[in-house]
Every structure is written in C-alpha cells, then in structure tokens.
Amino acid sequence: MNKIWLIIRREFLFRVRKRSFLVMTILGPLLFGALIVAPALLSNIQTDTRTILVHDKAMILDFEEGNEDIRFVYIDPNRYSLEESKAMVLEKGEYYALLYVPTGESWDPDFIAAGIAMYSKNDISLKVQAFVESLIKSKIQEEKLKLLGVDPAVVQQSTTQVRVRTFYLEEATQKERQSSTEVKFVLAFISSLLIYLFIFLYGSMVMRGIIEEKASRIVELIITSVKPFQLMMGKIIGVAVTGLLQFLIWVVLSFGIYVLTSQLIFREKFDAARVLAAQRAELDREGSALPMDIDRSIEIIQAIENINFPVVLSLFLFYFLFGYLVYGALFAIVGSTVDNETDTQQMVLPISVPLILAILSMTAVVENPDSNLAVVLSYIPLTSPVIMMARIPFGVPWWQIGLSMVFLVGFFVLAAWVAGRIYRVGILRYGKKYNLREVIKWFSYKV
C-alpha cells in the first residue's frame, strides 16, 4: 500500500511540475471564459453604422431612417441615374452599398419588388440583407393594405409582441423556476464534450506513461519492487489526481471569472436580473402580468443562476473520474502492448469507437434526453459518462443515475482486473507488433 502511494505521488508530482500542466491549467478557463463571454461582449459593442445609399424612385422606403446599425441616405432619383449612383458607392468609402428600387410603367408593388437590387464593393452581410428585405416586405405590405383600404393605424394595432416564458415545476419545493432550454443545451453540450475530451486527454496520458516506462526499460526494474498491477493502478490513479486537480483549478478560476464579469462588465444586467426576479416573485404572488420588454440576456443570467451547480458539478466529477478510470484501464492495455507511440493507432481504434459513438449520439440525446437511445446509452459503461452528462441538465430520474453509476463502477473493477492481467504480460514483450487476438490470449497466461 505504501508503495502504490509512492507511485501515485511520483506520477502526480512529475506531471504537475511540467510546464505544459501550468499552461493548460491557466489557459483552459481563460479560453473557456473567453468562449462564453466573447459573444456577449461582442453583441454589446456598438458596431459601425453602415450607411446605405438609396435610389428610390418608387418611394417604397418612404424615407425610413434605418436602425442603430444601418442608416439610409436618400439621393434624388431624378438627378442621378443608376450608373451615377453606383459610381458614388465605388468612389466614396462612406457608403456601404447602394439600394436600388426601380420604377416601371406599372406601380404594382410586386413588380417593383422583383426589380429591387443592392450593389456594393464587397459582399453584403446577411444581417444587412435580412434587415432590408424585411423592411421592404413590411413597407410593401403596408402599401398593399392601403390599396385595399385598410387604415395603417389598424394594422399597427393588430400586431402583438409574443414571448413565451418557460418554467419548470419543482416537485420538492412546489416552486416554479424560470427555465431556459438554451442554457441547458449549452450546459449539456459543454459538460459531455468536456468528459469526452478529458477521457481522451488523460487516458492517452496513461498510455504514453506506460509506453515510456516500457521503452526506457525501467519497468523491469520497478516490477522487482512492486507488483505490475500496483504499478498500473498507481499510474492510473496518479493521472486521475492530476486531472482532478486541474479540473478543480479550472472550476475555481471559471467561477472567479464569472463573478468578476458579473461584477464588472455585466453588472447592470446582473443587478437588473436580480431586481426583476424579486419583482417577478412579487407579481407572481399577486397574479398579475409582467412587463413585456425583458432583455434576453437578463433571462439567460436568471436561467444560469437557477441551475443546481453543486449537483451537476458533483455528478460531473463522478462521471469524469469513473469514465476516465474505465478508459484509463483500457488505454493501459494499449500502452502495454506496444513499444512506441507510433504503433498505438491500430490498438487505440477499438477503444475509441464507443467514445466516438457516444459523442456522435450526444446531439440526438440532448434534443431528446428521455428517448430510449439516451436511456440505453446511459447504462452502458463505455458510453454512460458522456451520455449522462448530456442528459443531466434536463433532469434524470435518480434511480437511473444510480443504476448507471453502479454499472460504471462495476465495469471499472472488471476492466482494471482484465487490464492488469494483460499488462503484466505486455510490459515485458518487445520488438513485435501484437494483434488483438494475441493480446486477448495474454489474459489467460500464467506469469
């Protein structure tokens, strides 16, 4: 027992002292934080207003001014021809594009709409195109309604802004919580992707470590002091401790970044979210409706704060740890069967297949977390870590989680035993490539 502790300590210290560990540990959450914060930041930044020159003889746009991103500038369609207008866009840098609305003999709006075109030096962004299209569409609709004798004021009144808020009912507390499927989607994707990445990252670390010991021949010296199984488990556990430490640092740093950004950058929105939550609680009690125009980001912040992070996090840790342990044992088998890293391909493939299968079916599982496929895959130990993390944000019955955990732990014990038997033979074999059938035979060898 003392000896396995020494092995774990060496594996841990050796890896933690590497510069790559430090870099990964610090850059990980920064990159991750950036990935989450950047889009929000970008949407906050005022993009340059684009000026679009409008040549509108038909007066379809009715001197509309645009929005905060797009500004329309009108030129006199009687003074300038289309060609002259195009030249203006080309010569003057200030114009993003030219919007040309033609006229014909007919004032039929459909006929006019068919001839509308935009000209620009570069590709026109989808956003601008969509805005212009929807604007023209509504203007033409208005025009048609007018022709049919409908008062524009009536049209204005007949439109309603709809936003459906979603709640989930919590059995335990009898409370309603604001939920956001988008936030759960993101959480499910990120956590199952992380499990997948971690298993590959740390699993291959075990494999490389074993190959290193084999290639440097130190393994023969070590197993005169400890049992091969102790050496293998020491390495697997040592890497696990490294991985857990790295992950915990990531969690702490990410939480720090979250708190920091919530205090500094998005402070107003976070405060607004809290005030709103209080108001909403008040209003819910009174049974009255809510103000309509709620900022989307405030809703997301509320949904994030409503996630039960301690539960998700501890389940994540469990599935990360045991998922890694199962695959760590399988990667140990691969490591023991080869002499150098270039020969691993053929042997890594069989153990990558279930993992890749899991990540491929993850999208389907996230869209339908209670489907038969999802339930079955979350019982199979080789896929359950990835699949369970994709399901957990949406809520999984406790007995399913329990059963899947029991299977996973049981399978780990089995995998470690099998791996140990193959490993003790493999580490002393050199110079030949062994195929899967030979490797399986080692299991029953007497050493």
Partner 1 sequence: MENILEIEGVSKAYGQHKALSDVTMCVRRGCLFGLLGPNGAGKTTLIRIVNQIFTADSGRILFDGSLLSAVHQSRIGYLPEERGLYRSMKVGEQALYLAGLKGLGEMEAKRALKYWFERLDIMGWWDKKVEELSKGMAQKVQFAITVLHEPELLILDEPFSGFDPVNEGVIRDELMELHRRGTTIIFSTHRMDTVEELCEDIVLIDRSKVVLSGPLGSIKKQFARKEWEIVVRASTGMDLPVVSGYECEKLGQPNGDMVVRVMDRENKGINEFLTALLATGTGQVQAVREILPAMKEIFIDVVKNQRDE
What torsion, rounded to 10 degrees, do the Cα atoms 194, 199, 204, 207 define?
160
* From 64-72, 139-147, 221-229, 331-339, span contacting partner 1 (CB under 8 A): 221-229
Question: Does the footprint of partner 1 cover residue 271 (CB under 8 A)?
Answer: no
Question: Does the footprint of partner 1 cover residue 213 (CB under 8 A)?
Answer: yes
Q: Toward partner 1, which CB reaches closer, 10 or 71?
A: 10
Question: Does the footprint of partner 1 cover residue 435 (CB under 8 A)?
Answer: no
CB of 230 to partner 1, least distance (A): 10
- The tokens describing 306, both together, are 């409503």
Question: Does the footprint of partner 1 cover residue 428 (CB under 8 A)?
Answer: yes
Distance from C-alpha of 26 to C-alpha of 295, rounded to nearest angstrom:
33
Distance from C-alpha of 335 to C-alpha of 333, rounded to nearest angstrom:
5
Q: Phi, psi (5° rounding) for residue 101?
A: -110, 115
Residue 218, classified by CB atoms within 10 Å of its CB into exposed (0-12), middle (13-18) or buried (19+), is exposed
Task: Choose, by CB under 8 A, the member of 137, 144, 217, 296 that binds partner 1.
Answer: 217
Q: Where do we find the tokens 């490797």? A: 439
Spell out the alpha helix ranges (H) of 159-217.
Answer: 181-215
Angle (CA) 109-115-121 rounded to 5° is 135
Q: Phi, psi (5° rounding) for residue 96?
A: -75, -40
Task: Choose, by CB under 8 A, the member of 122, 224, 288, 372 that binds partner 1.
Answer: 224
Q: Toward partner 1, which CB reaches closer, 56 or 213?
A: 213
CB of 10 to partner 1, least distance (A): 5
Question: Does the footprint of partner 1 cover residue 237 (CB under 8 A)?
Answer: no
* From 1-9, 96-104, 121-129, 194-202, span contacting partner 1 (CB under 8 A): 1-9
Count of residues binding partner 1 (CB under 8 A)? 22
Question: Does the footprint of partner 1 cover residue 241 (CB under 8 A)?
Answer: no
Report CA 309 to chain centroid distance, whole Å.
17
Question: Does the footprint of partner 1 cover residue 299 (CB under 8 A)?
Answer: no
Question: Does the footprint of partner 1 cover residue 372 (CB under 8 A)?
Answer: no
* From 20-28, 209-217, 255-263, 308-316, span contacting partner 1 (CB under 8 A): 209-217
Contact 101, 141 (CB under 8 A): no
Q: Phi, psi (5° rounding) for residue 293?
A: -85, 80
Distance from C-alpha of 413 to C-alpha of 233, rounded to nearest angstrom:
11
Question: Does the footprint of partner 1 cover residue 212 (CB under 8 A)?
Answer: yes
Q: Toward partner 1, which CB reaches closer, 8 or 298?
A: 8
Q: Toward partner 1, which CB reaches closer, 10 or 433?
A: 10
Question: Does the footprint of partner 1 cover residue 223 (CB under 8 A)?
Answer: yes
User: Within 385-404, which residues bind partner 1 (CB under 8 A)?
Assistant: none
Residue 324, classified by CB atoms within 10 Å of its CB into exposed (0-12), middle (13-18) or buried (19+), is buried
- The tokens describing 286, both together, are 């009174």
Question: Does the footprint of partner 1 cover residue 221 (CB under 8 A)?
Answer: yes
CB of 369 to partner 1, least distance (A): 45
Q: Toward partner 1, which CB reaches closer, 18 or 163?
A: 18
Helix axes 228-264, 2-16, angle to 10 degrees: 40
Question: Does the footprint of partner 1 cover residue 225 (CB under 8 A)?
Answer: yes
- The tokens describing 438, both together, are 């030979």
* From 214-222, 256-264, 295-303, 318-326, span contacting partner 1 (CB under 8 A): 214-222
Q: How many CB atoms lie within 10 A of CB 226?
A: 15
Question: Does the footprint of partner 1 cover residue 14 (CB under 8 A)?
Answer: yes
3-state secondary structure of 156: helix
Catalog residues that contact partner 1 under the rule CB under 8 A. Answer: 3, 6-7, 10, 14, 212-213, 216-227, 428, 446-447
